[in-house]
Chain A
């Protein structure tokens, strides 16, 4: 087995490395960057123990056949996208410079992808919508509404296909017939969670399933953490809807901050435990408060291209009065008409000014006079 192999292509080497290593293993992602995937793979195939990687992967190396794996995957509609490919989203390259979280980080060696969208095009403008699995119906409703509003504006909704907020966000996007990407912590051929088989199948038909892990791999706790960095890196910004203080969604939020992307949070009732983590992000100034799709669009779209109209109450007839006119208006009685002198005294203005103000108020239909005495106009 130790005979030097015929050098494989970069793509095959990356496919092999994605099978050998754990996603987000810093040693591996750094060495790929320094040596190149082909070189690193050749060294490992030559049983060279770089940074202890060889001892870790020896077991997996024995059964490895990357070319066949790529062919098998292709036969099942799964493609392998790696740096240099036309479909590779450059947004992922930012991961190189981002500070690792819990010993995980770096640019993925490649991504296994299933679905009709182009990964690069879909992530041209994408927003991650993530949150707790133990969410409330409030969170789910908000997440699917935001998902629908984003996707309706052709912003791709990226999430993790988990129970709770994730699935609500995907379904909102699907309902709006818009793009959505599910980033998984297992092979894209696996239905996890199994209750979401229909959802995953549907996304594979109209959106994209994406994973750092090759087909067949099972999800583990650490793989979820590595997966979160891909979600954050594929999106321009991340919206956190309901995350309790120890939720995995906060890990995605952390990655968003380290990637210098836009972090957003949807508030809930202040007494609600599932919103506590989000409230914390907002309170510390890490996340911007958003309440609907338009808020998210304003933060993600190029500056000034999408502005949310300022919230304002309905206009009232009093809004356009000057301070002095209001002062006079306040002095006019409701039912019993009084003289100008009385209005002026009550208002504390000169009689001439009161007379002028009353004329203007009459024009606006706010006061009426009977035989030189004034009162408020009756409303119908």
Chain B
């Protein structure tokens, strides 16, 4: 029976479905039909494949009826990477390659008319999906073999042309072919200082004892952080240094992040896995689609997903459009973002630590405590500006910190020795390690991710501290959700100190972090000692 099956992967967001490309070649009215909800680019595959097969020196079954089914048929499918599987399926159905060789292999790649392969976006997530479906071997365009090989235990065949694929399947000697262009030809622009975030160190930050500790806690537990303060106080300076406090990503985290960047077609052309936590700082004019994901055609991950396992920095928060801010509420809470469109629902991970910075008023000079306050904004305008940060969004922020401008005497302090990032990173790493061990049998990695009910049940505070926290709720000073956030913060404070359980001291610090009150010096001194 002239029927062959080649396999490939279809992506919906970050979810991969294993697709059987079934090709049937029979007598009948000569035609080529492609069924199974292909999109426009797959429909064009018929032409690309026919010409590519011809130009590679093989025969398209021109005198037969060719039926190509993409199964399961109910899933909408997208993308030119089906080409390779279709071409191989047709060749197998017309017995140009052995059908048995197709079992257990996934084919990914776009064909050009001369039979060469072209790179496609999303190879890493497709390979990961293939692995999760029990596939042991993928055939991908040569420049992307490295990307696919990041998936542990996967045997990867990198090829340049259809002829090489056929030769490999026939177990013949593989012919030479001109090399394939990588996906993106490299950035159009590069500029000095582009990579400067990586070199920023906390040792350059003088004074700011409270904000420094706040970013350390935020980094250790993955907590969302809000920095307010007059312009020039150092909010951005601090935020840019947060990635430097985070440990390298684990293999699992690297794969997640690299897969997202592969989907966003933002993977650097050289260099394998992304191992450093990302830092994304979208401008405040960013659209909802660019921040959360979407776009025309294929659903692409947004900035919030590209910052997964890293830091998303929203500078000048009140200038972001309000529906963008409102839309942030769900990912802030759940750590993932779901984009639903007529045909498809795409879900991307979005477990970024969100750091927000805001001036206290439109002119940027307002200072709630300082008698030298020079703000000229009317109170009404100031209130309107602050209200951009709506209540529900504010309630999802774990740590609030007012950044005071550094005083002249702090700059002149001859004994100031601000701790460098690597020392802080060592503590953050140790604290994260404690969390990893504690949550080993759960889907969570960091304190900020653990749901409230589970936290209260499995990892409660020391009884006395728990009672004190409840008292805050009954007194109306905290919402229930706020109390959960304080609870998580108390755990992070304990993890940073190396304490086994969060007690009254840790709770006190957590409450101070949440309310933006001054911290206790002995706690900060303990870190230096």
Contact = CB atoms under 8 A, between A and B. Distances in A.
Contact of B521 (A145, A148, A163, A198): A163
Contacts of B188: none
B521 A135 contact: yes
B22 to A, nearest CB: 68
Given A145-B409, A176-B409, A202-B415, A134 B520 contact: yes
B209 A164 contact: no
A174 interface: yes
B149 to A, nearest CB: 50
B522 A163 contact: yes
Contact of A175 (B414, B519, B521, B525): B414
Contacts of B415: 171, 174, 198-199, 202
Interface string B402-430: 00100111111111100000000000000
A203 to B, nearest CB: 10
B412 A145 contact: no
A202 B414 CA distance: 9
Contacts of A139: 518, 521
B423 to A, nearest CB: 15
A175 B410 contact: yes
Interface string A148-166: 1000000000000001100
Contacts of B407: 141, 144-145, 148
Interface in A180-225: 195, 198-199, 202
Interface residues of B, number: 24
B414 to A, nearest CB: 6
Interface string A307-320: 00001000000000
B409 A136 contact: no
A70 interface: no
A195 B528 contact: yes
Query: Which of B404, B410, B415 is packed against the most chain A CB atoms within 10 Å?
Result: B415
Most buried by B among A136, A145, A199: A136
Nearest to B371: A311
A171 B371 CA distance: 23
B495 interface: no
Contacts of B517: 136, 269
Contacts of A144: 407, 409-410, 413
Given A171-B415, A174-B415, A202-B415, A134 B410 contact: no
Given A141-B407, A195-B528, A311-B371, A136 B413 contact: no
B208 to A, nearest CB: 9
Interface in B507-529: 517-522, 524-525, 528-529
A290 B371 CA distance: 14
A136 B519 contact: yes
Given A202-B414, A311-B371, A172 B409 contact: yes
A175 B209 contact: no
Contacts of B412: 148, 175-177
Given A171-B415, A195-B528, A311-B371, A136 B521 contact: yes
B417 to A, nearest CB: 8
A138 interface: yes
B522 A175 contact: no
Interface string B342-360: 0000000000000000000
A174 B414 contact: yes
B209 A137 contact: yes
A376 interface: no
Contacts, number: 70
A136 B518 contact: yes
B24 interface: no
B414 A164 contact: no
A256 B415 CA distance: 29
B409 A134 contact: no
A299 interface: no
B146 interface: no
A171 B529 contact: no
A163 B524 CA distance: 11
Contacts of A136: 517-521
B210 interface: yes
Most chain B C-beta atoms within 10 Å of own C-beta, residue among A147, A171, A198: A171
Interface in B376-425: 404, 407-416
Contacts of B525: 163, 195
B357 to A, nearest CB: 20
Nearest to B508: A273
B82 to A, nearest CB: 60
Contacts of B371: 311
A140 B409 CA distance: 13
Given A137-B209, A195-B529, A311-B371, A164 B409 contact: no
Contact of A137 (B409, B411, B519): B519
A123 to B, nearest CB: 22
B493 to A, nearest CB: 15
A138 B520 CA distance: 9
Contacts of A229: none
A311 B411 CA distance: 28
B521 A164 contact: yes
Contacts of A172: 409, 413
A198 to B, nearest CB: 6
Nearest to A205: B414
Given A145-B409, A176-B409, A140 B521 contact: yes
Nearest to B414: A174
Nearest to A142: B518
A164 B518 contact: no
A227 interface: no
Contacts of A236: none
A19 interface: no
Contacts of B416: 171
A133 interface: yes
Contacts of A176: 409, 412
Contacts of B409: 144-145, 147-148, 172, 175-176
B341 to A, nearest CB: 49
A349 B412 CA distance: 62
Contacts of A269: 517
A255 B529 CA distance: 32
Contacts of B520: 134-137, 274
Given A141-B407, A145-B407, A134 B413 contact: no
Contacts of B521: 133-137, 139-140, 163-164
A140 B209 contact: yes
A163 B523 CA distance: 11
Interface string A231-243: 0000000000000
A171 B413 contact: yes
Contacts of A145: 407, 409
A176 B519 CA distance: 25
Contacts of B519: 136-137
Contact of B522 (A134, A171, A199, A202): A134
A215 to B, nearest CB: 23
Most chain-A CB neighbours within 10 Å: which of B413, B415, B521?
B521
28 contacts: A134-B521, A135-B520, A136-B517, A136-B519, A137-B209, A137-B524, A139-B518, A141-B407, A147-B409, A148-B408, A148-B409, A148-B412, A163-B521, A163-B522, A164-B521, A171-B415, A171-B416, A172-B413, A174-B414, A175-B411, A175-B412, A175-B414, A176-B412, A195-B528, A199-B415, A202-B415, A269-B517, A274-B520
Given A140-B521, A144-B409, A175-B411, 20 more contacts: A134-B522, A136-B518, A136-B521, A137-B519, A141-B518, A144-B410, A145-B407, A148-B409, A164-B522, A171-B415, A172-B413, A175-B410, A176-B409, A177-B412, A195-B528, A199-B415, A202-B415, A269-B517, A274-B520, A311-B371
- List 4 tightest A-B contacts by C-beta distance, closest first: A148-B409, A138-B518, A136-B518, A175-B409
